[in-house]
Amino acid sequence: MITSGSLKSKNLLKILTEAENKPFTGTVTLKGKTGLASVTLKDGKIVFIREPRIKSRLGRYLVSRNIITEKELQNALNAQKKRGGVFLGEILIEQGVIERDALQAAMKSVAEESLIHLFSWDEGLFRVEEEEVSGEPVGTISFEEMASKASQLASAVEDEWALDQLVPGKEAIEPGIKEEILQAVKRVSQKLRDLKPEEVVLLVEDELLMREMFKDKLVSFGFEVDAVDSPHKALEKLMEYEETGKIPIVLADLIMPTLSGKGIFGGLELLEEIQKTYSHIPVIVNTAYPEASIRRRALFLGATYYINKPDRKEIGPDELETQLNLFIEEVAVCIQNIIQRHEVYFERDQQNILREELLTQLIQSREELEKVGEVVQRDTGDIKFLSETSYKMVRDKSLGKMAEVMVNFASKEMDRCAIFLVRKNELTGFYGGDRRPEGKEFTARVKSLSMGVSESPLIQKTVETGKMTSTENPGDQLGQKIKNLLGDPEPRYAVVLPILVQNMVVALLYGDVVPGGAPPRDIDSLEILLNLASLSLEIQQQQVMLKRLKGN
């Protein structure tokens, strides 16, 4: 008994569960985009699994678990090669390097690992065929449990595999940087999925009954199918696909009306027209017409496949269904082969571009993280400092508490810092800090400050633009009252950053460095903190307004 179909409509878990319940003896063959795989069963139990990832899975497993040595594996493989097809495990037992119980346990573990991998195949075809099977099952394996593990591990395995390929020695990467790299891998992988065009089967068949039967059966194999009844409509559909970006695979009957209306080989004429205008589109010609010269002409014109279909005139009604099923299975395999090639070509075409983009993202992420790490480590000795400070800003929606946090943070690399409030073009001092020994009275002087915004060009520029202002040797730009506030010496570097609520400047952070000091280096972190302060104040304002509305 042979059955076949699409993994989209019937996944491997369902196939193996049915085989276990039957119980079934034979082989389940899978055809996916990464190659061929097979699961050999005896009375519904797994005897052996072949899958395309790694040759000699059993040998690799035994070496990786230190059950046998690399030399012992190579000796066994050489013996297997000479003896032609003898099971590797039997050779290892004969050579005395492993006991049968240990071999059986290893075979079960390898089968489970392979099964978890195969359960991730959600596209492709399957074929189930009864046959005699030698050998014994590796043990009881829970298909449900393996499928659950496959679901949990699928994305993680893909990410780790990509990380292995891109970043050798990933174990030495810091966790933060590794997470950034994994995020970049996910972004680029998603771009790859978004870029891949959608495949569609264009069925061209003039007989209504055959057209409907073929379409239904192809849909059951998991393909998207459009069906038309003439070469004219087929060419119209191909123009439509050009506009929408779909990739068609044409399945055309050979015998049907021509484009000109004269002759019977409409499929052949359609193939010729496709080669002239859409030479990249694969065409599968199907026919019950037996003439070999027509077959050769179709292949010469570029037909990807030429398949003989059942002739209803020569087959009885009781055999027609079976013959049609076998024909559609052959067509489905041809379509899957074409799709698989599309996958390979698409990934090859896009790989270099996407790899360049991914590597650019990785380099940027790494540089940014290293820069932040250096700055924070240099200033605080604790890489959590900025995140903890940010948390305080969001948690404490009191301007007084936020001002203290901001000044303390800014004081890590600036000598004098002050928070000024801005109301109706008036500037008043709110909070200050001077890290120098002689700056003990600075906070009191800040709180006593009151002046017009226009009295300090440096302050006025920040209030008017709502953007940071920084300058070297500001001099008279400070204004006389700011100079008096600061005292001696005048600053070598000065920076003013705004705090905005609903796009209005409500407060300012002033900071400076006296002569002999280094210019402020981590202004970015200060801007982050001030943006958080702005957000917190807006939230606080909205909460007050909501309370008033509720009160009314």
Confidence grade of residue 376 (pLDDT, cut at 50, 70, 90): very low
Tokens at 259, concatenated: 């484009």
Write out the H or E segment, with its range, that includes residue 271. helix 266-277
Q: Same domain for 341 and 399?
A: no
Domain assignment of residue 354, yes or no? yes
Last residue of a domain, one of 126, 153, 180: 153
What is the C-alpha separation between 338 and 34, in angstroms, rounded?
13
Q: Same domain for 440 and 507?
A: yes
> Which of 202-206, 296-300, 454-458 has the weakest average pLDDT?
296-300
Q: Same domain for 371 and 435?
A: no
Q: Same domain for 397 and 363?
A: no
Q: What is the CATH number of the domain that holds 273?
A: 3.40.50.2300
Domain assignment of residue 182, yes or no? yes
The b-or-e profile of 514-527 (16+ CB within 10 A means b, else e) is: beeeeebebbebbe
Q: How far is CA 211 from the centre of its chain?
A: 38
Last residue of a domain, one of 363, 381, 399: 381
Residue 244 corresponds to which amino acid?
T
What is the C-alpha separation between 185 and 173, in angstroms, rounded?
15
Q: Would you call the peptide bond into 437 cis, given omega within 30 degrees of 0 as the criterion? A: no
pLDDT of amino acid 288: 83
Q: What is the CATH number of the domain that holds 399?
A: 3.30.450.40
Confidence grade of residue 551 (pLDDT, cut at 50, 70, 90): low
Q: Same domain for 108 and 14?
A: yes
CB 472 within 8 A of CB 502: no
Confidence grade of residue 347 (pLDDT, cut at 50, 70, 90): low
Which DSSP state fits 476?
Answer: G
Write out the H or E segment, with its range, that includes residue 498. strand 493-501
Q: Same domain for 189 and 267?
A: yes
Sign of CA dihedral 123, 124, 130, 131: negative
Q: Residue 365, SS3? A: helix
HEC secondary structure over 150-200: HHHHHHHHHHHHHHHHHCCCHHHCCHHHHHHHHHHHHHHHHHHHHHCCCEE
Tally of CB atoms within 10 A around 37: 22
Domain assignment of residue 123, yes or no? yes
Last residue of a domain, one of 153, 184, 209: 153
What is the C-alpha separation between 511 and 413, in angstroms, rounded?
9
**Residue 375 in this model has a pLDDT that exceeds 50:** no
Domain assignment of residue 160, yes or no? no
Q: Same domain for 416 and 511?
A: yes
Domain assignment of residue 161, yes or no? no
Tell me how far CA of residue 368 lies from CA of 56, 60, 135, 355, 363, in angstroms. Answer: 43, 40, 57, 20, 8
Average pLDDT over residues 472-489: 91
Sign of CA dihedral 185, 186, 188, 189: positive
Q: Same domain for 95 and 177?
A: no
Tally of CB atoms within 10 A around 436: 11
Tokens at 523, concatenated: 């202004």
Domain assignment of residue 278, yes or no? yes
What is the C-alpha separation between 332 and 447, in angstroms, rounded?
81
Domain assignment of residue 159, yes or no? no
**Residue 5 in this model has a pLDDT that exceeds 90:** no
* Total number of domains in the chain: 3
Q: Same domain for 232 and 331?
A: yes
Range of the domain at 96: 2-153
pLDDT of amino acid 182: 63
**Residue 122 in this model has a pLDDT that exceeds 60:** yes
pTM of the model: 0.50
Q: Same domain for 7 and 100?
A: yes
**Residue 386 in this model has a pLDDT that exceeds 50:** no
pLDDT of amino acid 461: 93
Q: Note the pLDDT tens digit of each residue in 249-279.
A: 999 998 888 877 777 888 889 998 898 888 8
- Stronger pLDDT, 445 or 318, i.e. the higher one: 445
Q: Same domain for 141 and 241?
A: no
Confidence grade of residue 367 (pLDDT, cut at 50, 70, 90): low
Confidence grade of residue 383 (pLDDT, cut at 50, 70, 90): very low
Q: Same domain for 133 and 181?
A: no
Domain assignment of residue 539, yes or no? yes
